[in-house]
């Protein structure tokens, strides 16, 4: 092999190595950018989900407080009507709802999830039963809060009344079908 051929071979090998290294650097940079973009998107989605959960948590706490207030008022009325035993139970329930409302307001979503996981590990049967009950109550609430269909009902005309109009189920005389004005080919008959 001549000196010229060795130089050409070495130059080609060097160029290939440089191109390979450049391709590796470009791929590594692209991978880093994809990771950063993915991380950013996940963080943004996570932040939005957490924000939504926080607002729903605050709304639930507010509603629980409202239920506790209404229950306390009902208990007071029952106490005025000498229904002390029922009023006492209502007051205790209102106190528990207020505690739960305060707990929800004080904790962030992450802490609530952590507490729920701990409870589920310690008392799985109670957790599953509670989740089932909450699901049933939520389904019942959603079903009852859905708007009722607006069907207009009319009484069906009766055949026994004189002058009643024909409606569903009314007897109609049998007639034979009439001939169509047009044939299937589209020309007039």
CB contact at 8 A, 79 and 89? no
Quote the distance between the C-alpha of residue 4 and its chain's center: 74
Q: Is the pLDDT of residue 95 over 70?
A: yes
Query: Is the pTM here over 0.85, yes or no?
Result: no
Same domain, 92 and 127: no
pLDDT score recorded for residue 91: 92
Same domain, 79 and 11: yes
Q: Quote the number of domains for the chain.
A: 2
Same domain, 17 and 60: yes
Quote the distance between the C-alpha of residue 163 and its chain's center: 54
Same domain, 130 and 44: no
In a domain, 155, yes or no: no
pLDDT score recorded for residue 14: 83
pLDDT score recorded for residue 103: 92
Same domain, 53 and 134: no
Domain that holds residue 21: 3-106
Query: Regarding predicted confidence, which is higher, 143 or 185?
Result: 143
**Backbone dihedral region of 186: left (phi > 0), alpha (psi from -120 to 50 degrees) or beta?**
left
Banded pLDDT at 142 (limits 50, 70, 90): confident
What is the sign of the dihedral through the CA atoms of 62, 65, 66 and 67?
A: positive
Same domain, 33 and 91: yes
d(CA 21, CA 39): 27
């Amino acid at each position: 092999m001549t000196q010229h051929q060795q130089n050409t071979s070495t130059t080609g090998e060097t160029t290939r190595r440089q191109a390979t290294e450049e391709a590796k650097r470009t791929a590594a940079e692209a991978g880093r950018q994809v990771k950063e973009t993915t991380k950013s998107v996940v963080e943004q989605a996570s932040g939005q989900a957490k924000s939504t959960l926080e607002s729903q948590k605050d709304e639930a706490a507010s509603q629980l407080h409202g239920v506790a207030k209404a229950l306390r008022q009902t208990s007071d009325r029952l106490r005025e009507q000498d229904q002390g035993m029922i009023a006492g139970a209502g007051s205790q329930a209102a106190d528990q709802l207020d505690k739960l409302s305060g707990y929800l307001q004080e904790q962030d979503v992450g802490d609530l999830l952590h507490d729920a996981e701990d409870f589920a590990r310690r008392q799985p049967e109670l957790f599953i039963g509670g989740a089932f009950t909450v699901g049933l109550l939520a389904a019942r609430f959603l079903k009852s809060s859905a708007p009722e269909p607006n069907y207009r009902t009319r009484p069906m005309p009766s055949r026994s009344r004189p002058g009643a109009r024909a409606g569903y189920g009314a007897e109609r005389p049998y007639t034979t079908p009439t001939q169509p004005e047009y044939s299937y080919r589209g020309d007039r008959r």
